[in-house]
């Protein structure tokens, strides 16, 4: 059987969440890079595959799965062996992971995208304090979840940590995480950064995205 194929970009936080998940379960993916700046996600072929024209998009046999959160859950369920705790079978534990995935999707990533997308793609110069504070509000929520546990859903690492860390690490210079207000979030970031595959699969791409964002903002302001 051929391996699952992933349309992705290392600059894309949700793509990196899938890369972290695949690595954690020891799954080899066929990687198919998509260049968003060149509009490769808007070709008729790609839009036919994924009408939402987003990356990551996974192809597994006849199945096309879109959305990083759905992809991570699918991969652990189908290919995870001793790593099922990444997306637990227990109904209540799984519901908690799902809730945190929705937190990333609906709040963390959505707020980062609200700041980044107009600047990266549409020439905007709006890096307002409101947009930054709106992202930082999410750190309060994360701090709450991490108050008495090392990971977002308890003592075990889950795909919710992968999805959230891919987002948080992609915006934490423009929207800094205050060490005194959010000690648990900072400790959680460091904990995840200790994973042997973290830097290669998330750290480098996050740093590159932050650098491109800053350069683009400066360029737009200079126009
Ligand atoms: N909720 C989606 C968000 C995916 C997403 O917005 N990806 C961005 C790149 S980081 C994208 O493909 N943007 C292109 C577009 O929306 O047209 C997921 O988690 O996969």
| Domain locations in the chain as residue ranges | 5-82, 86-222
Whether the CB of 41 sits within 6 Å of ligand 1: yes
Closest-CA residue, ligand 1 atom 11, reads: 54
Mutate to test the pocket of ligand 1, among 33, 54, 162, 171 (most ligand atoms within 8 A of CB): 54
What are residue 80's phi and psi, to 5 degrees? -70, 140
Instruction: Give the pLDDT of residue 10.
Output: 98
What predicted TM-score, i.e. pTM, was given to this entire model? 0.98
Domains 5-82 and 86-222 share a fold: no
Instruction: State how far the Cα of 206 lies from the Cα of 167, in Å rounded to an integer.
Output: 8
Q: Is residue 12 within 6 Å of ligand 1 at its C-beta?
A: yes
The CA distance from 71 to 195, in Å, is 21
Above 0.90 for ipTM, yes or no? Answer: yes
Distance, CA of 164 to chain centre: 6
Question: Active site includes 12?
Answer: yes
What tokens were used for 117? Answer: 């997308």
CATH number of 5-82: 3.40.30.10
> Is pLDDT of 1 > 80?
no
Range 86-222: architecture per CATH: Up-down Bundle (1.20)
CA distance linking residue 149 with residue 132, whole number of Å: 27
Neighbours of 55 (CB within 10 A): 25
Query: At residue 47, does pLDDT exceed 80?
Result: yes
Listed in sequence order, the residues at least 6 apart from 159 whose beta carbon sits closer than 8 Å to its beta carbon are: 17, 21, 69, 72, 73, 76, 86, 87, 97, 101
Give the mutation target among 10, 32, 55 for probing the ligand 1 site: most ligand atoms within 8 A of CB.
55
Give me 172's structure tokens: 């934490």
Instruction: Give 56 Cα–ligand 1 centroid separation in angstroms.
Output: 7
What pairing do the DSSP bridges indicate for beta strands 30-33 and 5-8? parallel
The CB of 104 under 6 Å from ligand 1? The reply is: no
pLDDT one-digit tens code per residue, 50-62? 999 999 999 999 9
Query: pLDDT at position 11, please?
Result: 98
Mean pLDDT on 105-120: 98
Predicted local distance difference test score (pLDDT) of residue 76: 98
* Angstrom distance (rounded) from CA 212 to CA 190: 23
pLDDT at 107: 98
Q: How confident is the model at residue 223 (pLDDT cuts 50, 70, 90)?
A: confident
Is the CB–ligand 1 distance for residue 220 below 6 Å? no
CA distance 133 to 204: 25
Q: Write the residue with the smallest CA distance to atom 16 of ligand 1.
A: 54
Strand partners, 5: 30, 59
**144/142 Cα distance (integer angstroms):** 5
pLDDT of residue 162: 98
pLDDT single digits (tens) 169-209: 999 999 999 999 999 999 999 999 999 999 999 999 999 99
Residue 107 CB less than 6 A away from ligand 1? no
Distance 67 CA to ligand 1 centre (A): 8
Range 129-134 average pLDDT: 98
85-112 confidence digits (pLDDT tens): 999 999 999 999 999 999 999 999 999 9
Ligand 1 pocket residue status of 67, Cβ below 6 Å: yes
């Amino acid at each position: 059987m051929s391996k699952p194929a992933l349309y992705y970009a290392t600059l894309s936080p949700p793509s990196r969440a899938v890369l972290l998940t695949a690595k954690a379960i020891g799954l080899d993916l066929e990687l198919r890079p998509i260049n968003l700046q060149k509009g490769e996600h808007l070709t008729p072929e790609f839009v036919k595959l994924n009408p939402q024209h987003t990356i990551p998009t996974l192809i597994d046999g006849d199945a096309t799965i879109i959305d990083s959160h759905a992809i991570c859950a699918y991969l652990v369920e189908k290919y995870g062996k001793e790593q099922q705790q990444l997306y637990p079978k227990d109904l209540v534990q799984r519901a908690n992971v799902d809730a945190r995935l929705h937190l990333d999707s609906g709040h963390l990533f959505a707020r980062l995208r609200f700041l980044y997308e107009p600047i990266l793609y549409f020439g905007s110069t709006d890096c307002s304090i409101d947009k930054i504070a709106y992202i930082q509000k999410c750190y309060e929520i994360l701090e709450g979840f991490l108050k008495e546990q090392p990971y977002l859903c308890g003592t075990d690492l889950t795909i919710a940590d992968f999805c959230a860390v891919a987002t948080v690490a992609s915006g934490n210079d423009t929207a800094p995480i205050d060490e005194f207000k959010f000690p648990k979030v900072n400790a959680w970031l460091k904990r995840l950064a200790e994973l042997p595959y973290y830097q290669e699969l998330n750290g480098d791409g996050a740093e590159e995205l932050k650098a491109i964002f800053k350069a683009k903002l400066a360029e737009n302001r200079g126009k």
